[in-house]
Chains A and B, each alone.
Chain A
Amino acid sequence: MTEPIIITQHLTHIYAPGPQQKVALNDISLEIERGSCTAIIGVTGSGKSTLVQHFNGLLRPTSGRVIVNGLDTGAAGVDLQTLRRHVGMLFQFPEMQLFERTVFADVAFAPRRQKVERREVRRRVFHALDTVGLPHEQFAARSPFELSGGQMRRVALAGVMAMSPSVLILDEPSSGLDADAREEFYYYLQRIKEEQGVTIVLVSHDMAEVAALADWLCVLHQGQLVMQGSPRHIFAHGDQLRKWGLAAPPLSELLALLRQQGMAIPAETLTLDEAFALLRLKLKDRIV
């Protein structure tokens, strides 16, 4: 097994140390595998955003360590520029930050600021646009404000991809998108992960989104890592999730209720197809 791309060891973060201090993260140790899609889930105020802001050096640990791509982010003299080139971050509602006159200029913003050579900027921008399903021939010259909400969000994603990050952090990436735009966004994220091997870290409280994308989940509650595992494993523990203010996706909840009523449904059932195949067998004698 290869070295995890992100490691936190006993990470604690305290805002405003002193009498009014708030412990935002409490002794978090976790590893994120290279090339995975890991979701950090928890209710508002559980510490999700604080945690991921350590991954690109926006925050530094009060105690403990965070190691990203072999780089200790808390070490004296750490090169934050290099770190941030490795770790791209897409904030909530990123389309609100689009401001240039053309899609090209918006996507080129970060590489230009990094003084990347002109031809290389062009190459990266075109590639990033193609990657997110906005073919550059069609979209580069357009104004970002003429695009649909889903397309604007993908322009913002291309802006992050133009820095060729090895880790992509997304904060509630699909909130506010309608069903179609959401599906499209997921499709291009999957492609980025599979074709370019980018590690994705997702911050979310939308369990349907998490179920669609993530292969590993970390559950935060009041600044502590209370559970981690595969979606199948975590969503089979709906009762526990409720204690932390979370809920399994509706389909997992339905299956849990059926189990409560005495139907033998394996804990590992997760997808619609699996549930359909299973129930079809179980209800066989009731067919009319």
Chain B
Amino acid sequence: MDDIHANPFIDMQQVSYVYTRQQRKGHEEQRVQALRAINLSVRRGEYLVVLGHNGSGKSTLARLCNALLTPTSGRVLVAGMDTSDQTMQRAIRDKVGMIFQNPDNQIIATVVEDDVAWALTMRGLPTALIRERVEEAMEAVGISDLRERAPQQLSGGQKQRLAIAGVLALRPQCILADEATAQLDPLSRREIVALLHRLNRELGLTVIQITHLLEEAALAARIVILQQGRIVMEGPPIDIFSDLERLRRLKLAIPEPIELAARLREAGFPLAPDALTVEALAREMAH
């Protein structure tokens, strides 16, 4: 049997998650089912994009993958460890590092390199080892030349790089990026997505990227789309992008170049179905 399939890195089995919320003081609590019976496994080294609009359950799914939340029912296994087992949670979070939406909430120290070193210092590792890991992490995300800066002086994109370096310093096997580009300007957004792809390719890291933007999913190995807590579509980008009507019904904005390509195909122009980025489409149309 194929070892990779036998041993997925993350394995969600019939996972449901229910949270309660109180709308206003004195009102009754309301039970909200954020995820319903999710079965999903993520291979080692895979680049998975989880797409969905607000309230689809995608952030809940991310938090279940590194034991920030534990399932109401069902099981989540990370490298074979059950996230509901409290003795395993620290080891799980070391393997699965998470980047959040707002870069400012993830910065602790007053100097860039101290911030990258933070988690290692807290673990009391030897100084020489910390130095080595910090250098390596800053190098990997391209912020070595910013090492002495104060984090507040960095741009949004640089702050997210810093957050990624802080996670990388722990040598995780997986990076979970929860809407990590949502507050960035368009160029920084692309840089961060490109960086995640590079880390996936060059370091073999498993990447799970949570987003509501279809254009950020074009280069993924696999896309999973959530709606109302269920997986409603799943497959490689080429399959997912072939049903624009369905994507529209799922309230996802179709990037204009993709729409244009679809209209041209409909009008009889042969454009390769795997041309899903602006660059690939330009090549197809110009040749």
The answer to whether the Cβ of A280 comes within 8 Å of any Cβ in the partner chain is yes
CB of A205 within 8 A of CB of B257, answer no
The answer to whether the Cβ of A254 comes within 8 Å of any Cβ in the partner chain is yes
| Contact residues in B for A247 (Cβ distance below 8 Å) | 186-187, 190
The answer to whether the Cβ of A137 comes within 8 Å of any Cβ in the partner chain is no
Number of A-B contacts (CB under 8 A): 106
Which of B54, B156, B185, B263 is within 8 Å of A149, CB to CB?
B54
Q: Which residue of A lies closest to B23 (CB)?
A: A145
Interface string of A174-216 (1 = CB under 8 A from B): 0111111010000000000000000000000111100000000
CB of A272 within 8 A of CB of B260, answer yes
**Chain B nearest CB, measured from A104 CB (Å):** 16
CB of B253 within 8 A of CB of A182, answer yes
CB-CB under 8 A for A246 and B186, given A178-B53, A179-B53, A258-B285: yes
CB-CB under 8 A for A250 and B268, given A245-B188, A261-B286: no
Which of B54, B253, B286 is within 8 Å of A258, CB to CB?
B286
CB-CB under 8 A for A176 and B23, given A245-B185, A257-B279, A280-B264: no
Which of A145, A176, A249, A257 is within 8 Å of B54, CB to CB?
A176
The answer to whether the Cβ of B215 comes within 8 Å of any Cβ in the partner chain is yes
The answer to whether the Cβ of B80 comes within 8 Å of any Cβ in the partner chain is no
- Distance, CA A283 to CA B185, complexed state (A): 34
| Contact residues in A for B232 (Cβ distance below 8 Å) | none
Q: Which residue of A lies closest to B256 (CB)?
A: A251
CB of A257 within 8 A of CB of B282, answer yes
The answer to whether the Cβ of A229 comes within 8 Å of any Cβ in the partner chain is no
Interface residues on B, range: 35 or more
| Contact residues in B for A16 (Cβ distance below 8 Å) | none
Q: Which residue of B lies closest to A271 (CB)?
A: B256
Q: Which residue of A lies closest to B190 (CB)?
A: A247
**Chain A nearest CB, measured from B55 CB (Å):** 8
- Distance, CA A251 to CA B270, complexed state (A): 19
| Contact residues in A for B286 (Cβ distance below 8 Å) | 257-258, 261-263
Chain B positions 106-141 with a Cβ under 8 Å from a chain A Cβ: none
The answer to whether the Cβ of B274 comes within 8 Å of any Cβ in the partner chain is no
Q: Which residue of A lies closest to B212 (CB)?
A: A178
Interface string of B267-287 (1 = CB under 8 A from A): 111100000001101110110
Interface residues on A, range: 35 or more
- Distance, CA A205 to CA B182, complexed state (A): 11
The answer to whether the Cβ of B252 comes within 8 Å of any Cβ in the partner chain is yes
**Chain B nearest CB, measured from A216 CB (Å):** 20
Interface string of A244-288 (1 = CB under 8 A from B): 011101110110011001110000000010011001100100111
- Distance, CA A182 to CA B54, complexed state (A): 12
**Chain B nearest CB, measured from A98 CB (Å):** 12
The answer to whether the Cβ of A43 comes within 8 Å of any Cβ in the partner chain is yes
Q: Which residue of B lies closest to A248 (CB)?
A: B186
The answer to whether the Cβ of B5 comes within 8 Å of any Cβ in the partner chain is no
CB of B285 within 8 A of CB of A250, answer no
CB of A43 within 8 A of CB of B264, answer no
Which of B156, B186, B270, B281 is within 8 Å of A254, CB to CB?
B281
The answer to whether the Cβ of A45 comes within 8 Å of any Cβ in the partner chain is yes
**Chain B nearest CB, measured from A147 CB (Å):** 12
CB of B260 within 8 A of CB of A43, answer no
The answer to whether the Cβ of A113 comes within 8 Å of any Cβ in the partner chain is no
| Contact residues in B for A275 (Cβ distance below 8 Å) | 260
The answer to whether the Cβ of A44 comes within 8 Å of any Cβ in the partner chain is yes
- Distance, CA A261 to CA B280, complexed state (A): 13
CB of A261 within 8 A of CB of B282, answer yes
Give the one of B156, B190, B215, B251 with max A CB within 10 A: B251
Shortest beta-carbon contacts, A-B, top 7:
A178-B53, A257-B282, A179-B253, A261-B286, A251-B256, A205-B185, A287-B268
If A251-B256, A258-B286 are given as contacts, then 6 extra A-B residue pairs at C-beta distance below 8 Å, sorted by A number, are A145-B23, A146-B23, A182-B253, A263-B286, A276-B264, A286-B269
17 residue pairs of the A-B complex, CB under 8 angstroms, read A43-B155, A43-B185, A149-B55, A177-B54, A178-B54, A179-B253, A205-B186, A207-B186, A245-B155, A251-B260, A257-B279, A258-B285, A272-B263, A275-B260, A276-B263, A279-B264, A279-B269
